[in-house]
A = this chain, B = another copy of it.
Amino acid sequence: MAPSSAPKPPLPDKEQLQANILRLPLEHRSPDREPHSYERWLINKLMRMAGSPPIRFQLWNGDVIEPDSVEPRFTLYLTDPKALYSLVANPNLAFGDLYAAGRLEIDGDLPELMESLYRAIHSARQKWPRWLDALWRNHNPRPTGISEAKENIHHHYDLGNDFYRLWLDQAEMQYTCAYYEQADNTLEQAQLAKLEHVCRKLRLKPGMTVAEAGCGWGGLARYMARNYGVTVHAYNISREQVRYARAEAERQGLEHLVTYVEDDYRNIRGQFDAFVSVGMLEHVGKDHYPALSALISNCLKPGGLALLHSIGRNRPMLMNAWIEKRIFPGAYPPSISEFLQICEYGDFSVLDVENLRLHYAQTLTHWLDNFTASQSQITDLYDELFTRAWRLYLAGSIAAFRTGSLQLFQVVFTHGDNNQLPQSRQDLYTFPATPEGI
């Protein structure tokens, strides 16, 4: 333990943690037996391999293991020895599973703990021996062909509109990164500003036609129709989302401008003045980038602009195993050069790339706040395991964007021979994108 005069956080009340955990349907209960000396050794080793994050462990019997070189800021509580073994064997997967099951409890701010962990691991992993890298590696995402994509998307996006309504923005149910023009914007403001920012980047004009791939609950399509007078064909394979999107377009009297098609993006047909996809590329899979590129090339008119908005990376890296397995099956956020190869395949010209990384950290912070406020309702809809898993997913994502493990890229591109280009990007910034009075 490092010598320091800074006050340490108090140890969590074991009874209280146990009470929280005991509400869960646990397979394993704390055996209350003494930890073996090699179990203590294993924890020390684990922490050193993870780059010595400022975490102390409290074990099933109440024993505390302090970190050996930093002042602890968080306490991680393990309910049973088996939890320890699965954490050591496969931390990427086990951390999330154990937390969801309540076999791993945390005292301290969850996003901050995850941020500390990510930072420590990021610098430590450079020095990992090869065997450890192999043991702890993430796996290739599952396939994303037409039939698999349906299952992947169903797993996540068909969880029920009532669920998402509890913690997404009230304005247009956007489940993608918002755009905080000012740091103190609300989630609602920032989500509408995102829609506006995207429309401006596409230089939409009344009467234009737009193809949208992966439209979520249809908010962008309605915004474009409502505010820019364009006709939109919006594709989505999530039945729940399409149902909501259609009802909402009808309620807003926009059915004559917006058509929601319950179909795979690969089946988009026709030619459009603009092509847009916000938050779908993560699910496309690298193998399908050439096909996506060919699709956009076919359906974008000669003078048209295309925009892809997606989570990405600074360098190629597989998705965290737990996220890919439990939350986003098939997900792969591309590195920026992998992303732009989509443009290269189709002989497109990249006009504009903007990185909104910290905007996603802020969006997720707002989501987690809403989520936490609705926690008991969510547990009623599903169960405690689900709520804990999603809380961790949101907190972990905040940490991933804060530490730069994930990025958010908006890329605007056009056919390589299109010379009808905007003179500059000045027109994006003439007026605030944030709506007044909400």
Contacts and interface: CB of A to CB of B under 8 A. Distances in A.
Interface of A: 119, 122, 179-183, 314-316, 335-338, 340-341, 343-344, 347-355, 357-358, 402-404, 407, 409, 416-419, 421, 423-426, 428-430
Contacts of A352: 353-355
B182 A423 contact: yes
B429 A402 contact: no
A365 to B, nearest CB: 14
Contacts of A183: 423
A344 B315 contact: yes
Given A316-B344, A337-B344, 4 more contacts: A314-B350, A315-B347, A337-B337, A352-B353
Contact of A358 (B180, B335, B338, B419): B419
Contact of A355 (B347, B351, B402): B351
Contact of A357 (B119, B182, B349, B428): B349
B348 A314 contact: yes
Among A341, A350, A403, A429, residue most surrounded by chain B Cβ atoms (within 10 Å): A350
A355 B412 CA distance: 10
Chain A interface mostly helix, strand, loop or mixed? mixed
Contacts of A430: 429
A416 B314 contact: yes
A314 B347 contact: yes
A403 B347 CA distance: 12
A350 B349 contact: no
Contacts of A423: 180-183
A289 to B, nearest CB: 11
B350 A355 contact: yes
A52 B334 CA distance: 40
Contact of A404 (B337, B403, B416, B429): B416
A79 B337 CA distance: 48
Contacts of A122: 417
A316 to B, nearest CB: 8
A88 to B, nearest CB: 27
B336 A344 contact: yes
Contacts of A119: 417
A428 B338 CA distance: 28
Contact of A350 (B336, B418, B419): B336
Contacts of A338: 337
Contacts of A403: 417
B349 A314 contact: yes
A119 B289 CA distance: 27
A270 to B, nearest CB: 24
Contact of A181 (B314, B335, B355, B424): B424
A343 B312 CA distance: 14
A357 B421 contact: yes
Nearest 5 pairs between A and B by C-beta? A353-B353, A429-B429, A337-B337, A404-B416, A315-B344
Contact of A344 (B335, B348, B426): B335
A347 B314 CA distance: 6
Interface centre among A349, A353, A423 (most CB of B within 10 A): A353
Nearest to A312: B350
A352 B403 CA distance: 19
7 contacts: A336-B350, A350-B353, A354-B425, A358-B421, A404-B417, A425-B429, A426-B429
A402 B417 CA distance: 8
Contacts of A358: 419, 421
B344 A314 contact: yes
Contacts of A349: 314, 355, 357, 404, 407
Contacts of A340: 336-337, 340
A76 to B, nearest CB: 23
Contacts of A343: 314, 336
